[in-house]
Amino acid sequence: MSIAEKIKVLIVDDQVTSRLLLSDALTQLGFKQITVAGDGEQGYKIMSQAPHHLVISDFNMPKMDGLGFLQAVRTNPATKKAAFIMLTAQGDRALVQKAAQLGANNVLAKPFTIEKMKAAIEAVFGSLK
């Protein structure tokens, strides 16, 4: 069993198309345990009930944005150890710096390739093989 098959992933993005693209890319990389949420509030509820190993979250979302979600995950003892990759279409350095300050492990820019996603994940977990 590969490392990817053991990692539970939570995708949090308000755009259905983004969730589908992320899920498809993760599946191609060998991930089998993938959950999706439409905003940070729903994502946090899922994480609180069943912590995941990896969160891939967008910045801009209704109800609870990516930074608020990241902060909530990092302050909860049950979820604070999860790897967290922020997904952004923006080149906004201030947002990226804030995410790093709050404990994001990496940032993945949209549009992404499967190779870039793999590299972002492997930067956190090591080789997925």
Segment 56-83, tens digit of pLDDT:
999 999 999 999 999 999 999 999 999 9
How many whole angstroms separate alpha carbon 104 and alpha carbon 98?
Answer: 9
- pLDDT of residue 109 exceeding 90, the answer is no
Confidence of residue 90 (pLDDT cuts 50, 70, 90): low
Beta-strand runs (E) in 2-116:
8-12, 33-37, 54-58, 83-88, 106-109
Segment 11-26, tens digit of pLDDT:
999 999 999 999 999 9
pLDDT, mean over the chain:
93
Pairing, β 106-109 against β 83-88: parallel
Instruction: Return all residues near 13 (Cβ < 8 A) that are at least 6 apart.
Output: 19, 22, 36, 38, 56, 57, 58, 61, 87
Which of 33-37, 61-65, 86-90 shows the highest mean pLDDT? 33-37
Q: Is the pTM of this model over 0.75?
A: yes
- pLDDT of residue 32 exceeding 70, the answer is yes
Q: In degrees to the nearest 10, what's the CA dihedral of 98, 122, 40, 94? A: 20
Tokens standing for residue 68 = 């608020």
Confidence of residue 96 (pLDDT cuts 50, 70, 90): confident
